[in-house]
Amino acid sequence: MNNELILQPMLGMMVLTAIVWFVMYAKRIPAMQKARMPVQTYTTPDKAAELLPDSVNYSAYNLKNLFELPVVFYALCLLLYVTQAVDMTYVIAAWLFFGFRVLHSFVHCTSNVVILRFYLYLAAALALWFMLGRAVFNHIVA
């Protein structure tokens, strides 16, 4: 098994994070210009959320979300890579995590249908918890 295969979905998550960051600013800057308020008005994320339309803030909320569970994903992928424990089961689970996170981000940044977003988040989380549980089990047993 090529140990480096686990790095591909990890890099995909990094690219997803960058895309959401660009989307956030592509929505926020025009909305701020349209509001014609001084930039200093937006001193905190809470102020931006209060002053800008919800649809403009969806990508900002998603960006924050991309620094929650994905942090565990990054650390786990690196652990698997460094310890050379990568196998096809981990790679498939990692791609599932990434795929569901892409779909979650798309829904979160666009229509923001909460129940759909929740199920996509849950599916990604279950793939991640499976990976983590398996890694812990393999570490304890090995």
**For the chain, which residues make up each domain, given as ranges?**
3-141
Position 132 scores a pLDDT of 98
pLDDT class for 119, splitting at 50, 70, 90?
A: very high
For 113-141, what is the mean pLDDT? 97
For 90-100, what is the mean pLDDT? 98
For 113-139, what is the mean pLDDT? 97
Position 45 scores a pLDDT of 87
8 Å CB contact between 31 and 55: no
Instruction: Tell whether domain 3-141 is in CATH 3.20.20.220.
Output: no
Position 8 scores a pLDDT of 98
- 60 pLDDT higher than 90: yes
pLDDT class for 91, splitting at 50, 70, 90?
A: very high
For 38-54, what is the mean pLDDT? 91
- 30 pLDDT higher than 90: yes
Percent of the chain with pLDDT over 90: 94
Q: What's the pTM?
A: 0.94
